[in-house]
């Protein structure tokens, strides 16, 4: 019995394990048909491999791209990304800044006392309280109920709308000719 | 040996050992050297940015191959029409021709065109396997790792792809003579 072509294909790739490999080799010794089959497969394989791209084309930018990545991620020989490096610097300075703000805030009370007049001077926003004198209604009721029907109709008319009004249960005067309004 | 993707020495070694492999695999998917170079760079950038530790160089290689393959496939899906247009204009990569004499280059280019057309005619699951087999020098085990399929499956697909390619390429020859 001859070798099936899947086995030959694996044999060609050097992927056939023992004992099959030896068996295939022994069979190939005396079977011209299988030798021919293998040879065809090999030449097809060569043909496909020959369609590969030339080395110098594939490798032409290798160094350029490495230099680019190197300067982007490993500049000055440091192994830390720029984000982390920036964080390392900014974190202590952030704490210092926060401490300074707190210090000035507390210092204000310590040196100037806490009488309401002075507090107003230092922190004017503390004075504001929500009583009737400084709360103002922002929205006015400007709904349609403030207008008469006539005003609304006039407005719509001035904008060029054709408005047809009818009252439920009442027939128009010339009911015979006019289309009854819905 | 453990590989840390943000370590400069590790990065350099992985880059040197895999650049050729990655660009070759990508190139056989996109068929355009500029795009292949961009995508190869992108793959290595992701490798760095991911900041991962791999148990071995092989694991790093499989990861990079998977990323490269996906980048390339996504690229052609996105730019299918654009790629076809570019290809029409420049059928043969110019760099291929310069180094050989005319006749030899013409035969080579002709073969490349035929083989490429034949490979493109394969269903996607066969195409990827045969390309990795023929153009990356990876063994069945590695291809299985990259594609997330079994070794037996790789063996079957390589064989099926070969059979199909033989059919396609031999019909072409009959048409010629």
Q: Which CATH architecture has domain B101-177?
A: Orthogonal Bundle (1.10)
Crossing angle of helices A5-12 and A32-50, in 10° steps, is 50
**φ, ψ for residue B137 (rounded to 5)?**
70, 10
User: Shortest Cα distance from B107 to chain A (angstroms)?
Assistant: 11
Residue A163 belongs to a domain: no
- Would you mind telling me the total number of residues written for chain B in this entry? 177
Record: contact B20-A59, CB cut-off 8 A: yes
Q: What ipTM did this prediction achieve?
A: 0.76
Determine the Cα–Cα distance for residues A69 and B45; give it in Å rounded to an integer. 7
Examine residue A95 and state whether it is found in any structural domain, yes or no.
yes
Please name the member of A6, A65, A81 whose beta carbon is closest to the beta carbon of B159: A6
A69: in domain: no
- Domain B1-90, CATH number (from 3.30.930.10, 1.10.1740.10, 3.30.300.30, 1.10.1060.10): 1.10.1740.10
Contact call for B166 and A51, based on CB within 8 A: no
What string of pLDDT tens digits covers the 182 residues of chain A?
Answer: 678 888 889 999 999 888 888 988 888 888 888 888 899 899 999 988 888 888 888 888 888 988 888 888 887 555 555 555 555 556 677 788 888 888 888 877 776 655 556 656 666 555 555 566 665 655 555 677 778 888 888 888 888 888 887 778 777 666 555 455 45
Task: Please report, for chain B, the start and end positions of each structural domain, with discontinuous segments joined by +.
Answer: 1-90, 101-177
Query: What are the two backbone dihedrals, phi and then psi, of residue B53, each rounded to the nearest 5 degrees?
Result: -115, 125
Q: How many CB atoms lie within 10 A of CB B15?
A: 20
Residues in chain B closer than 8 A to A50 (CB atoms): 108, 111-112, 115
Residue A19 lies in a domain: yes
Helix segments in B79-123, DSSP class H: 80-89, 94-98, 102-120
Q: Is B96 within 8 Å of chain A by CB?
A: yes
Residue A43 lies in a domain: yes
8 Å CB contact of B162 and A69: no
Tens-digit pLDDT profile for residues B87-132: 666 555 544 444 456 777 777 778 888 888 888 889 988 999 999 9
Residue A58 CA to chain centroid, in angstroms? 33
In a domain, A139, yes or no: no
Asked if A62 and B41 come within 8 Å (Cβ–Cβ), the reply is no
Q: How far apart are the C-alpha atoms of B132 and B158, rounded to whole Å?
A: 10
Does the residue A74 lie in any domain? no
The DSSP code for B3 is E
The domain containing residue A36 runs over which residues?
5-55
Is A182 within the bounds of a domain?
A: no
The total number of structural domains in chain A stands at 2
């Amino acid at each position: 019995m001859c070798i099936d072509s899947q086995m030959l294909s694996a044999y060609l790739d050097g992927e056939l394990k023992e004992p099959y490999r030896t068996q295939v080799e022994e069979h190939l010794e005396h079977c011209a048909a299988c030798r021919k089959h293998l040879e065809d497969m090999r030449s097809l394989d060569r043909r496909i491999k020959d369609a590969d791209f030339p080395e110098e084309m594939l490798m032409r930018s290798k160094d350029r791209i490495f230099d680019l990545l190197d300067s982007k991620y490993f500049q000055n020989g440091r192994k830390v990304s720029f984000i982390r490096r920036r964080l390392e610097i900014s974190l202590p300075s952030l704490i210092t800044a926060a401490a300074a703000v707190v210090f000035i805030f507390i210092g204000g009370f310590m040196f100037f006392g806490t009488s309401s007049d002075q507090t107003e001077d230092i922190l004017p926003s503390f004075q504001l309280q929500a009583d009737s004198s400084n709360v103002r209604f922002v929205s006015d009721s400007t709904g349609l109920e403030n207008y008469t029907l006539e005003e609304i109709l006039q407005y719509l008319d001035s904008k060029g709308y054709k408005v047809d009004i009818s009252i439920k249960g009442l027939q128009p005067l010339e009911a015979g000719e006019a289309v009854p309004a819905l | 040996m453990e590989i840390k993707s943000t370590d400069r020495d590790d990065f350099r070694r992985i880059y040197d050992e895999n650049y050729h492999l990655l660009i070759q695999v990508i190139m056989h998917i996109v068929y355009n050297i500029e795009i292949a170079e961009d995508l190869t760079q992108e793959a290595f950038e992701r490798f760095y940015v991911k900041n991962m530790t791999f148990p071995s160089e092989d694991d790093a290689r499989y990861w990079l191959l998977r990323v490269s393959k996906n980048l390339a496939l996504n690229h052609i899906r996105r730019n299918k029409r654009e790629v076809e247009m570019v290809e029409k204009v420049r059928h043969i990569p110019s760099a291929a021709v310069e180094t050989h004499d005319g006749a030899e280059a013409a035969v080579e280019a002709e073969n490349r065109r035929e083989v490429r057309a034949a490979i493109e005619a394969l269903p996607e699951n066969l195409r990827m396997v045969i390309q990795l087999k023929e153009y990356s020098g990876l063994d069945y085990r590695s291809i299985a790792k990259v594609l997330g399929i079994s070794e037996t499956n790789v063996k079957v697909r390589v064989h099926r792809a070969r059979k199909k390619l033989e059919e396609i390429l031999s019909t072409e020859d009959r048409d010629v003579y």
